[in-house]
Amino acid sequence: MIELAKRDAIKQKLATFGGEWVDLPTFLPAETVLELAGEALRSRLYFATAPDGRELCLRADLTIPAALHYIENHARENGKKTYLCSGKVFRANEISDYNAHEFRQMGIEHFGDKDEQNADVSLFLAINDACKSVNSSKFNYEFFDGGLIKTILKNAQIDDVWREFLLDTCYDLLSLKSRIEIATSEDKQKPSALAQSLVDVSNDEATEIVTEVLQIAKLKTHEARGAQEIAKRLKQKAMRANTKALNADFVKNFMAILEINDVPLKAIEKITIMAKKIGVDLSDWLAIWRDKFEKIDQDNAKFIAAKFGRFEYYDGFAFDIFSKDNERAIASGGRYNGLILQLSNGEFDICAVGAVIRPQILLGE
């Protein structure tokens, strides 16, 4: 149990950011959560069945219910809205020494603020102040940018064939590294005769050829993935086999970027210098991050180039705060500009940033 006085102290500090306290739904449609977070989260979710048979799950974080609440109640106004939230989230145990199946999170979810720079910094400072209000020890900070690797790959001087191949994995370090290995290999699998025959024809012609092959062989696809998608991918496979392997210098510099983990100003400068070597101008990005760090105390802070959020929806500024004696973050947050668009099926394109405090970890309870 968290001492009420301490919970109130955190609440008071969070309220200085502004916004209204909201009660978020505890049960969410399981489909929405799994579609967003993926099956990897399934083993940590608690499920229930609604009387009408729909599969529900207990919320595993506050961000998804807050985003859904915003879409339902405020997205049409298209303006700024800030929710202050406090409540339990439910996740099956992953780390053996932390046995709670339900634990409290307290946080801020801030939508539609176009002054992203100011919002990012203000949110971090509010969360940090709230943590400090109940725990006077020194914290460690890790900052990262959920959209950095994507930006670099989008602009790097590499063949478009490899760009597309690598961009698909830009939120997953393991997959990204495995694709770099494939892209650097000189020993490529020879494409099939059919795939090779599609390289020099238009996409429409390629689709026609594949349709004919499928008809002759009496093979079936289905609506979600038909001859067009198959032809496109066969073509891509053949093009990858025909394209020169990724340049060794690019790989060396790109891998060096992925390894950068240093004090913030040094790290972002190193990233910018290394990015320039692969043809990417990050000077605007550097200016934005420098400006952020002018307002944020960098004691015990690091910037990590290839840190990816627990949830893929972090697509910009992001951070974790740690206390010295716990490897679990006492607070985490970040920008998730694409989430509202995704959850509203493309209806609302509204920027957002949010963060939560985990009071049980913060207070060592």
Q: Which residues of this protein are in contact with other proteins, per CB under 8 A? A: 34-35, 38-40, 42-43, 168-169, 172, 174-175, 178, 194-195, 210, 213-214, 219-225, 227, 229-230, 233-234, 237, 342, 345-346
Q: Could you tell me the smallest distance in angstroms from the CB atom of residue 219 to other proteins?
A: 4
265-274: Cβ within 8 A, 24+ apart: 265/290, 265/293, 265/298, 267/302, 267/303, 267/304, 267/305, 268/293, 268/303, 271/148, 271/305
- Angstrom distance (rounded) from CA 333 to CA 317: 8
Q: From the CB of 93, what's the least distance to other proteins, in Å?
A: 12
Which of 92, 287 has the CB closer to other proteins?
A: 92
225 or 252: whose CB is closer to other proteins? 225
Contact (CB, 8 A) for 156 and 164: no
Considering the complex, what minimum distance in angstroms separates the CB of residue 306 from other proteins?
A: 16
Residue among 125 and 199 whose Cβ is closer to other proteins = 199
Helix (H) or strand (E) holding 97: none
The secondary structure of 125-157, three-state, reads HHHHHHHHCCCCCCEEEEEEECCHHHHHHHHCC
CA distance 86 to 108: 9
Nearer to other proteins, 230 or 321 (CB): 230
Element containing residue 185 per DSSP (H, E): none
User: What strand order describes the sheet that includes 331-335?
Assistant: 20-21, 81-90, 102-111, 352-357, 331-335, 317-323, 139-145, 301-304, 261-262
| Nearer Cβ to other proteins (8/204) | 204
Minimum Å gap between C-beta 19 and other proteins is 29
- Smallest gap from residue 225 Cβ to other proteins (A): 7
> Given the complex with other proteins, which of 127 and 176 has the nearer CB atom?
176
Task: Report the residue number, 210 or 282, with the smaller CB distance to other proteins.
Answer: 210
Least distance (Å) between residue 342 CB and other proteins:
7
331 beta partners? 321, 357
Produce one character per residue of 64-76: b if its CB has 16 or more CB atoms within 10 Å, e if not.
bbbbbbbbeebbe
Kindly state the smallest distance separating residue 189's Cβ from other proteins, in Å. 10
